[in-house]
Amino acid sequence: MSALVATDPTSRLPMELHLEILGELEGHRKYLRRARLVCRTWNIAATEILSRTTSHACLEFISPKERQRFASKTRELTLGGFFSWPYIVDSLRSDSDGSELRFPQLKRLTLGWSSRLSQESTRQFFGPDLKSLTVERMNNQLLTYVPSLCKSLKELQIGVKIPGSGTPIISALLDMVQQLPILESLIVSEFKVDLGEASQYSRFGPSLYRFRTSDAALDSCSVLALARQAGSIFSNVVDLEIRLEDPALVHLPGLFHRLTSLRLTIHS
């Protein structure tokens, strides 16, 4: 084994380069574990990357003295789990070591059941360097305080159905997006666009260039309304993914002159 390491050309490269290369696999734990078997250098680098991602559910089982060490290295965090969630919240509120954890390097955050969280119990997870936020269940309160805590947010993904116009959720969402000046990507799982609602999209920030709705449906009236607003609303969008109800609306790409990526799904 020692002879293999001695002749391994990768051992002559700086560790920073190995971390950058294997960093492309961050989030794919199965492949990172396999990478640890290649050589000693990759074992060290892959182990370092694996330690960056700490599941919030595991914090209960980590000793209080070790929790902050894990938190300080965590770059991707998932908060969620229907069954473990109440216990996690209780432990954070009752355990001073848990409630005082800080995540200075956190870049990506997923909130699985955010409707059960208050601003006080989630503030520790939001920081100025947070780039990506995924919300699988949300409430108006969450949308209200996120902009003030996540000034560097570039990607927002919402995995729940967004009601139509006139509802508090859609108003809060539009207000939040307007307060995120460098937001580049907005991905909504299910989003029904109404004719009277289209004008509100003019409040999207100028940095937004990616808009995706995996299960949304746009009817003829909605598309025509969006077409009239396209110059000011989606002027910078180059990546668009939507579903259409009318096959005759396949001419839609011509309305967005800067598009370089487009996915249309026609359904009846």
Q: Which of 48-57, 182-191, 243-252 has the lowest mean pLDDT?
A: 243-252
Q: Which of 88-97, 120-129, 192-201 has the lowest mean pLDDT?
A: 88-97
**Closest CA relative to residue 176, chosen from 209, 212, 200:** 200
Mean pLDDT over all residues of the chain? 62
- Confidence check: pLDDT of 36 > 80: yes
- Reduced DSSP (H G I as helix, E B as strand, rest coil) percent helix, strand, coil of the chain, to 5: 50, 20, 35
Rounded Cα gap, residues 229 and 33, in angstroms: 49
Confidence of residue 11 (pLDDT cuts 50, 70, 90): low
Q: What do you get for the CA distance between the two ends of the chain, in Å?
A: 62
**C-alpha torsion sign, points 209, 146, 121, 97:** positive
Rounded Cα gap, residues 32 and 46, in angstroms: 6
pTM of the model: 0.55
